[in-house]
Amino acid sequence: WGTYHPSIIEILIVAETFAFVALGMLLFSKFFPLIPIFDIKEGMVVRDEIKIGRRIVPATIRE
């Protein structure tokens, strides 16, 4: 009996498997976000400004 030493091909297969799983997780989070878009938009301030009287104030999203 001898000791087992994996070949470079076997090491690459294992590394590619982990990379494929990580890619799948990233793609899943891209198409199905972990934070709902509504929650992000709810507290977001619009970069546009509106004029109220003599003052210019930032506008907020009202949905």
- Tens of pLDDT, residue by residue over 19-58, are 999 999 999 988 887 766 666 555 555 556 667 778 877 7
Q: Name the residue ranges covered by the structural domains of the chain.
A: 8-60
Contacts of 48 (CB under 8 A, 6+ apart): 58, 59
Q: Where are the alpha helices (DSSP H) in the chain?
A: 8-31, 37-42
- Cα–Cα distance measured from residue 23 to residue 29, given in angstroms and rounded to the nearest whole number: 10
- Cα–Cα distance measured from residue 41 to residue 63, given in angstroms and rounded to the nearest whole number: 9
Q: Which two tokens stand for residue 33?
A: 């976000």
**Is the pLDDT higher at 1 or at 16?**
16
**What is the predicted pLDDT for the residue at 52?**
72
Q: How confident is the model at residue 15 (pLDDT cuts 50, 70, 90)?
A: very high
Q: Which two tokens stand for residue 22?
A: 């990580």
Please give the model's pTM, rounded to 2 decimal places.
0.50
**What is the predicted pLDDT for the residue at 20?**
98
**What is the predicted pLDDT for the residue at 31?**
85
